[in-house]
Structure 1
């Protein structure tokens, strides 16, 4: 954030959000009024200009597009984890259950700054972080009391994240393809900023509607038959974890594969498929995933810049933001797995490495939490129990 005061991006954003200036390459006119509240509109216009500098910079290379897709997928998977954590029974009534509020705060103060504070607060205040050090029966009982989530929430979290975050991300990123006017495009970027609020609202509304229309859900196994609460919970929560893993893996695997192509093969593919030559040549690991040094960030002259000059500055910011925040989520999940799952550390490490390669740090965190949640089946009666769960 400090770099924005010296690399030209901060000055440019101030110019664009002031009267008269436009953002080169972006749709015109630039919109500065969204709510009618002067202070809020000024702040929103800064955020809108920041993201427009990325999504509207037509001169940026394919490495920018690749990292943007990868980063947004990692972000969505990480956000899914936080939404799930806030809904667990052990966190109800605690500050860590306020994921919508936390989301609004980190959207304004960065993922890097707020997520470590949120997760540290979780470790100090949540009973979920204190499940280790018990015998299997006691640990299973404690896990069932603290890890459970309303079954309707588990069924609806993927849809809520899709509608509240994924869809707005896609819509704001494709203004030309969707034939958006300038005002519509900037409205969508502004709308996206409140994705934590939209996610929580969608989840609450759908939960209440489904409960009102269909009543509570009972634990069921993979074949749809009544089962114990622990087994039913694992069947239900698997949908949330699978959602996060799919988002992470389907974006990382192709992008990482292209970025790691050896030079001879890259040249051969570029020559064989000339239509995609620029994509193949530009998406390298160094260009896509390695940020500039903090002491030598990319810069621009706000009074003289052209296509391709804006996006690299925004991407460099997001690289540090996402790497720090998502690595924190992974370390948090790693700690919970080591201290509560009872698995050998070698299994924890192998799971972490495998899923980091397949889907990045967010996928590894999800895989560790999914395995940790198996605690809910420890010491549970194997006879199916009729249980009414909201």
Structure 2
């Protein structure tokens, strides 16, 4: 998809590549399901080992979500705070209002170039997609806390989500919530299994 068209590939082939790429969440889901059924018989059902592996996955995912978010904000804010760093022709394009503001469909705002239209679309795409995954993670997080700890501190949770969203982005916040949720669930499951094992041995 990154190859220039029509210099190296035809426009039609590039469009086909983009179309094939679109259902990548389905590809990931199918591969994850197949991996589970194929590989799970080869490994023991060890919750501690599973959580240890998951920590690396979550850390990698959080890094990939947070770093681009911080870099984007840093570059955009530096164009306002330290404009001398940039060529004058880039200052307006890098302004936070132009980079992060989401144009409303009813505002009557129009686009002058294809690139500007794509930028509008990608902002809405990111906002809707990341909001959906953040709400999903928030729901799973609260359900786990209600079932295991019987309580959820909503004020603290919303403050944490807001802070994470600012510094790591909504995707980074979702990763962090799922990480905490799995730590809680796996820890509870492991503790319960240990108690059952001890009870059997004592009897």
Normalising by structure 2, report the TM-score: 0.73
Q: Of the candidates 372, 375, 379, which is equivalent to residue 185 of structure 2?
A: 375
Q: Looking at both structures, which has the greater relative contact order when contacts are Cα pairs under 8 Å and sequence separation is at least 6? A: 1
Contact 1:326 1:361 in 2 (8 A): yes
Select the residue among 171, 180, 185 that pairs with 1:362. 171
Listed one character per residue, the Cα deviations across residues 250-279 of structure 1 (whole Å, up to 9, x for unaligned) are 21111011222363512x212xxx5xx655
Query: What whole-Å deviation, never above 9, does each CA across 1:323-361 have from its counterpart, x for those lacking one?
Result: 133223323322332343245335423431232122211
Equivalent residue, structure 2, for 1:186: 15
Contact 2:79 2:91 in 1 (8 A): no
Question: 5+ unaligned residues in a row in structure 1: which ranges?
Answer: 1-171, 220-228, 301-307, 386-390
| Residue 316 (1) aligns with residue 114 (2) | no
User: In the alignment, what sits opposite 1:286?
Assistant: 97
Structure 1 position 382, deviation (Å)? 4.7
> Does structure 1 retain, via aligned residues, the 8 Å contact 2:79–2:85?
no
Structure-2 separation of matches of 1:288 and 1:313: 13
Aligned position for 2:28: 199
CA deviation string 1:58-84 (max 9, x = no partner)? xxxxxxxxxxxxxxxxxxxxxxxxxxx
Aligned alpha-carbon RMSD (Å): 3.1
> Is contact 2:80-2:95 (8 Å) kept?
no
> Residues 208 and 234 of structure 1: is their aligned pair in 2 closer, same or farther, counting only changes over 3 Å?
closer
- State the distance in 2 between where 1:250 and 1:192 align: 24
Q: Distance in 1 between matches of 2:123 and 2:21?
A: 19
Alignment of 1:205-354 (within 5 A): 206-207=35-36, 210=39, 216-218=42-44, 229-261=46-78, 263-266=80-83, 268-270=84-86, 274=87, 278-279=89-90, 281-299=92-110, 309-341=113-145, 342=149, 344-354=153-163
Which structure shows the higher helix fraction? 2
Matched pairs, number:
186
Q: Does the CA contact (< 8 Å) of 2:79 and 2:94 recur in 1? A: no
Distance in 2 between residues matched to 1:295 and 1:245, nearest whole Å? 35
User: Superposed, which structure 2 residues align to 1:67-86 within 5 Å?
Assistant: none
The answer for unaligned runs of 5 or more in structure 2 is 198-203
Question: What is the SS of the residue equivalent to 1:258?
Answer: helix
2: distance between equivalents of 1:365 and 1:265?
Answer: 32
Task: Give yes or no for contact 2:92–2:98 (8 Å, CA) kept in 1.
Answer: no
Between 341-350 and 248-257, the greater mean CA deviation after superposition: 341-350
Distance 2:56 2:90 in 1: 34
